[in-house]
Amino acid sequence: MTISGALSNAMSGLRAASSGAEVVSSNISNALTPGYARRILSLSAQSTGGVGGVQINGILRIVDAGLASDRRNAEAEQVNANSRAQFYTRFESLIGTPDDPASLSARLAGFESSLISAASRPDAPERLTTSVGAARDLAASIREASAGVQAARGQADQNIAGMVDELNLALEQLATLNAQITSLQVQGGSIATLQDQRQQVVDRIAALVPVREVPRDNGQIALYSTGGAVLIDGTAAVIGFEPVNLVTPYLSLADSTLSGLTINGQSVRTDSARGALRGGALGGQFAVRDEHGVAAQAQLDTLARDLIERFEDPAVDPTLTAGDAGLFTDNGAALDPLDQLGLASRLSLNAAVDPQQGGEAWRLRDGINAATQGNVGDATLLQNLSQVLNDPRPVAGGGFGGQAFGAMSLAATLASDIGVERTSAEQVLSFATSRLTELTERQLADGVDSDAEIQRLMLIEQAYAANARVIETVDEMMQTLLRM
């Protein structure tokens, strides 16, 4: 080997060692940076024109694409499950558990107890007033539960609007990064940093909508939702959504009073079974607004209808005739069987028996339509009211299967169903969280290992010292030749 060849080899080794140290330093400093992928320096033997040495081929970004995709989809599944679990936890708190004195079951039991107490002393005005107050509180608790369900739907609608804005922004950023990566790659520059930034954007998108990443020419990528929608392939899709100011029981996606989604101006499905963007945070909010919330309202409406029907029967209160409102009303009117939607939000106590609305509590004993007080010792109507509260009656709608329930058993069944839904949602969430944790740990293990990087740095230091020693030896040889 010639002196010049040895010097060339050593110089290329120094350059490789210097570049390797930079790569290791970058890995260690970004070990905890989200989206950062471990780098390694790609080297090969240089043998151009009879000159040896080390050739730097470039910096490789080490990513397990399959593991990254699984981790992203696991995160989407986790946030979707969390939306469902949060809704049913909230719904259960609105209804209350049986041991909660403010629960719906407790209110109903309190109303029944007050009727029994009043029937034992029908002449006691304070007992009648207590029964009226218990009935008022019962109606109010059902209205409050309905309002809470609609508030959850309204919050979901606002969340959807924010998520759509975030998704559109992320897709625009992804298109920009795709173009920048292509440009820099053509120029021969390192694209690893831009790929890290793009990975972070893809992760943000995937939390909203589960995606499949497809490589394209010149370093670009395309994204497709697992529901089959094209999010970006060259150009970014534009997602459209129109929020409303207030969600009520009468607004729904089915009758077009609530907005769905559009992709590039074309309407797409949003349901959890076949929605184009189902499965992530965005799909979870649509499920709360259009599925879980609607089903919860239907259950409350069924409960309200059952309560109204029980007490507007002339066989229970002889002062009533067909079409008259009973103890519980639809905003003061009798029940319209064809207008059940939103009934829970309109449930109210008949003004005729409510002193707060100008009525008289004694009508609870003598009849809703009684013009004057009757026999103060007659507890027949109060006993009828107490009995009808627990008479089994067929219940239509609300997912109760058309079975016969007493009012107490219907409320207990509703609370039980909600508890089952919450438990199921929490189990799904627990599994999704465990899966996400496991995949995240596996991805982190595949990332930067600080101990391994320190060992690599020590080897680089040795290589640098060896090449420096070669240069020092060549210098000594040249000095010796010059002195001869």
pLDDT, one tens digit per residue, over 190-244 is 888 898 899 999 999 999 999 999 999 988 999 999 999 999 999 999 999 999 9
pLDDT at 330 over 70: yes
How much is the pLDDT for 49?
Answer: 59
Instruction: Give the 3-state secondary structure of residue 240.
Output: strand
pLDDT at 438 over 80: yes
**CA–CA separation, 35 and 170 (whole Å):** 15
Per-residue tokens: 346: 């309109």
Q: Which residues contact 37 (CB under 8 A, 6 or more apart)?
A: 61, 62, 63, 192, 195, 196, 199, 447
Residue type, 120: S
Whole-number percent of the chain with pLDDT over 70:
97
How much is the pLDDT for 1?
Answer: 60
Segment 73-123, tens digit of pLDDT: 999 999 999 999 999 999 999 999 877 888 999 999 999 999 999 999 999
pLDDT at 44 over 70: yes
Residue type, 478: M
How much is the pLDDT for 120?
Answer: 95
**CA–CA separation, 124 and 7 (whole Å):** 113
Report in angstroms the alpha-carbon separations of 152 from 160, 166, 362, 425: 12, 21, 39, 16
Residue 421 backbone dihedrals phi, psi, to 5 degrees: -65, -40
Q: What is the mean pLDDT of residues 39-61?
A: 72
At residue 8 the predicted structure's pLDDT band, cuts being 50, 70 and 90, is confident
Closest listed residue to residue 153, CA positions, set 227, 81, 248, 60: 248
At residue 48 the predicted structure's pLDDT band, cuts being 50, 70 and 90, is low
At residue 68 the predicted structure's pLDDT band, cuts being 50, 70 and 90, is confident
CB 205 within 8 A of CB 223: yes
Segment 255-282, tens digit of pLDDT: 999 999 999 999 999 999 999 999 999 9
**CA–CA separation, 96 and 412 (whole Å):** 10
Instruction: Give the 3-state secondary structure of residue 50.
Output: coil
Residue ranges of E strands in 186-260: 211-215, 221-225, 230-233, 235-236, 239-240
Give the residue carrying structure tokens 């497709």. Answer: 224
How much is the pLDDT for 463?
Answer: 80
- List the beta bridge partners of residue 261: 268
How much is the pLDDT for 50?
Answer: 58
**CA–CA separation, 314 and 277 (whole Å):** 52
219's torsion region: left (phi>0), alpha (psi -120 to 50) or beta?
Answer: left
Q: Which residues contact 152 (CB under 8 A, 6 or more apart)?
A: 87, 90, 91, 288, 293
Q: Please, what is the average pLDDT of the chain?
A: 90
Q: What is the mean pLDDT of residues 176-201?
A: 89
Q: What is the mean pLDDT of residues 412-439?
A: 94
Segment 340-364, tens digit of pLDDT: 999 999 999 999 999 999 999 999 9
How much is the pLDDT for 24?
Answer: 78
pLDDT at 449 over 90: no
Query: 3-state DSSP: the chain helix, strand, coil percent, rounded to 5?
Result: 60, 10, 30
pLDDT at 247 over 90: yes
Per-residue tokens: 478: 């040249």
Average the pLDDT over each of 163-167, 246-250, 290-294, 439-443 and give the range with the smallest value.
439-443
What is the distance in angstroms between the CA of the first residue and the CA of the last residue of the chain?
21
Sign of the alpha-carbon torsion through 385, 387, 393, 399: positive
- List the beta bridge partners of residue 327: none
At residue 51 the predicted structure's pLDDT band, cuts being 50, 70 and 90, is low
Segment 376-387, tens digit of pLDDT: 999 999 999 999
Report in angstroms the alpha-carbon separations of 184 from 39, 57, 188, 306, 393: 18, 16, 6, 69, 74
Average the pLDDT over each of 54-68, 139-153, 420-434 and give the range with the smallest value.
54-68
